Amino acid sequence: MQLSPPRPIFTGETWRFQYWFRDNNPGPTSNFTSATAVLFH
pLDDT of residue 5: 81
Q: What is the pLDDT of residues 3-38, one digit of tens each?
A: 678 889 999 999 999 999 988 878 888 889 999 999
> 14 and 36 in contact (C-beta within 8 Å)?
no
> 38 and 15 in contact (C-beta within 8 Å)?
yes
Q: Which residue has the higher pLDDT, 39 or 22?
A: 39
Residue 14 has φ and ψ, to the nearest 5°, of -115, 125
pLDDT of residue 6: 84
Nearest-CA neighbor of 15 among 35, 38, 32? 38
Q: Band the pLDDT of 1: cuts 50, 70, 90.
A: low
Claim: this prediction has a pTM higher than 0.75:
no
DSSP 10: P
Query: How many angstroms from the chain centroid is the CA of residue 26?
Result: 25
Residue 7 has φ and ψ, to the nearest 5°, of -135, 160
